Amino acid sequence: MYAAVRDHAYRDDREQPFHKNKKSTLMKPLGLGVLGLGEGRSIISAGVRSALWDVVCLCDTNARLAQERCAEFGVEQYTTDYEAMLADPAIDAIGIYTPDHLHADHILAALAAGKHVICTKPFIDDLSRARELLDAQVSSGKAVMVGQSTRFFEPFMRQREHYESGALGDLVTVEASYSADHRWFLDKPWARQAAFKWLYGGISHPADLVRWYLPNVSEVMGYAYLSANGREGGLVNPDTYHFVLKASDGRIARVTGVYSCPTVPVERDSPMTCILRCDLGASQADYHELHYAWTVGKQAAIESFESKRDYYFRFGGNSHHAGEYQNYIEYFARSLAAGETPRPDVREGIVTVALMQAMDEAAQTEQPVRIADLLGRYGLEGLLAETAR
Ligand SMILES: NC(=O)c1ccc[n+]([C@@H]2O[C@H](COP(=O)([O-])OP(=O)(O)OC[C@H]3O[C@@H](n4cnc5c(N)ncnc54)[C@H](O)[C@@H]3O)[C@@H](O)[C@H]2O)c1
């Protein structure tokens, strides 16, 4: 019954977002400044290959890294001074890839300088600055998009398209997980600080996927645990999470993340996955395997996007996935050109952070937490209803 579909044709007639020829578009390229050049490497790779962007300047407090990235990608300018980059009129947008706890300050500075913002996930790592960020975005009139990379990975885009076609029917439940052996990440000094939480760094992916399908998630309960492996690596916050979520219409969902344990072979357990169970069909998008599997009635298939592996994973094995960044910066540029808001925007980003903060509180209190109550405490009442429409 199962058909293994290689490099499925569903997307072949779609406009490919990958441009080598900078002259292939009539749109004036946007100037990009990149802040933070670890994961920032992926957006630089995307920008230099895009007809829609010019990478104008790189910025990192580590000058040697900035020089290396300039040499790697043929970018001509770098600085260790963020304010200097913000003062450059050739830059339209800042891509922010600094440690999680610095995002709020870096976004606010970019908006104050009149720049659009693409900020990596997690957008911010608690709600304390959320009202200030929302007000700053509104008064600046500039676009702020959260770089929720997984939404822009081939099997997940295909799953969304399939769901939106109506073929799967109405959503009953969604289950998303992201589990990986990320003990290597603890070499980064900021990962061992109290401010670092896998709840934001890791769970932001499955939390966003669930909210993409169930934007009206209203309540959460669950547990978190810090494993011996994580504690040995210097982690101070949990690395193991299981949560159950409820939407305002009664539907339920599940989010899981485990970050300091070996993983099951990918043939049996995908590191990142999103399962939609609907009334007419079911579907699963998988990460490194580049698979999308679905059932509708008596039909079923496993689609592979293997031929796009080199597009998505350009360097660093599977640890960097620049193709997603290519997709999202080009989507961002096209949205601005069309006068549309690139998503997830600041409002959606804040509510996803509220979901993660609610998870944190639920795990600590061992009680269910309502997201609207939490948002209300930060002067953001109404935001859940506004983004759930
Ligand atoms: N899938 C994804 O979208 C994805 C994947 C990995 C990391 N990330 C995110 O990217 C961000 C950075 O993670 P990383 O793994 O690259 O960390 P990293 O520590 O490797 O890199 C951060 C860089 O920021 C620089 N930096 C720190 N403070 C700065 C400042 N004030 N001004 C300028 N530069 C500064 C550091 O020197 C460093 O080079 C995090 O928020 C992380 O969650 C996203």
Cβ 39 under 6 angstroms from ligand 1? yes
What secondary structure letter does DSSP report for 61? Answer: S
Q: State the distance from the centre of ligand 1 to the C-alpha of 102, rounded, in angstroms.
A: 9
Quick one: how far is CA 257 from the chain centroid?
15
Domain layout of the chain by residue ranges: 16-149, 150-310+344-387
Interhelix angle 103-112/130-140, rounded to 10 degrees, is 20
Whether the predicted pLDDT of 180 surpasses 90: yes
Q: Do you find a cis peptide bond into 265, omega within 30 degrees of 0?
A: no
| Choice from 37, 86, 97 to test ligand 1 binding pocket (greatest atom count within 8 A of CB) | 97
Alpha-carbon span 207 to 199, nearest angstrom = 10
Interhelix angle 154-164/204-213, rounded to 10 degrees, is 20
Q: For residue 284, what are the β-bridge partners?
A: 275, 293
What secondary structure letter does DSSP report for 317? Answer: T
Q: How big is the CA angle at 43 (ends 22 and 133), to the nearest 5 degrees?
A: 120
Encode burial over 145-174: b for 16+ CB neighbours within 10 A, e otherwise: bbbbbbbbbbbbbbbbebbeeebbeebebb
* Residues 6+ positions from 222 with CB-CB distance below 8 Å: 241, 242, 243, 244, 255, 359, 362, 363
Between the alpha carbon of residue 182 and those of residues 75, 115, 185, 257, 362, the distances in Å are: 31, 33, 5, 11, 24
Whether the predicted pLDDT of 374 surpasses 90: yes
What secondary structure letter does DSSP report for 21? Answer: -
Cβ 219 under 6 angstroms from ligand 1? no
Residue 275 host element (H or E)? strand 272-278
Please give the model's pTM, rounded to 2 decimal places.
0.94
Alpha-carbon span 142 to 151, nearest angstrom = 22
pLDDT for res 103: 98
Cβ 37 under 6 angstroms from ligand 1? yes
Q: Nearest 10 degrees: CA dihedral of 344, 346, 348, 350? A: 130
Whether the predicted pLDDT of 8 surpasses 50: no
Alpha-carbon span 58 to 81, nearest angstrom = 10
25-34 tens-digit pLDDT: 568 999 999 9
pLDDT for res 366: 96
Q: Do you find a cis peptide bond into 344, omega within 30 degrees of 0?
A: yes
Q: State the distance from the centre of ligand 1 to the C-alpha of 156, rounded, in angstroms.
A: 24
Q: Nearest 10 degrees: CA dihedral of 286, 256, 326, 30? A: 160
pLDDT for res 27: 80
What is the DSSP pairing of strand 116-120 with strand 93-96? parallel
Atom of ligand 1 at shortest range from CA of 41:
16
Q: State the distance from the centre of ligand 1 to the C-alpha of 142, rounded, in angstroms.
A: 23
Label residue 319 by pLDDT band (50, 70, 90): confident
Cβ 29 under 6 angstroms from ligand 1? no
Q: State the distance from the centre of ligand 1 to the C-alpha of 334, rounded, in angstroms.
A: 26
- Encoding tokens for residue 205? 């992916």
Q: Which fold has domain 150-310+344-387?
A: Dihydrodipicolinate Reductase; domain 2 (3.30.360)
Cβ 35 under 6 angstroms from ligand 1? yes
Contact 235, 192 (CB under 8 A): yes
Contact 151, 145 (CB under 8 A): no
201-247 tens-digit pLDDT: 999 999 999 999 999 999 999 999 999 999 999 999 999 999 999 99
pLDDT for res 143: 98
Alpha-carbon span 72 to 64, nearest angstrom = 12
pLDDT for res 289: 86
Cβ 60 under 6 angstroms from ligand 1? yes
3-class DSSP state of 142: coil
Mean pLDDT of 159-177: 98
Cβ 374 under 6 angstroms from ligand 1? no
Cβ 147 under 6 angstroms from ligand 1? yes
Superfamily of 16-149 according to CATH: NAD(P)-binding Rossmann-like Domain (3.40.50.720)
Q: Nearest 10 degrees: CA dihedral of 139, 329, 266, 317? A: -120
Whether the predicted pLDDT of 331 surpasses 80: yes
Atom of ligand 1 at shortest range from CA of 205:
1
In which residue are the tokens 């050109």 written?
337
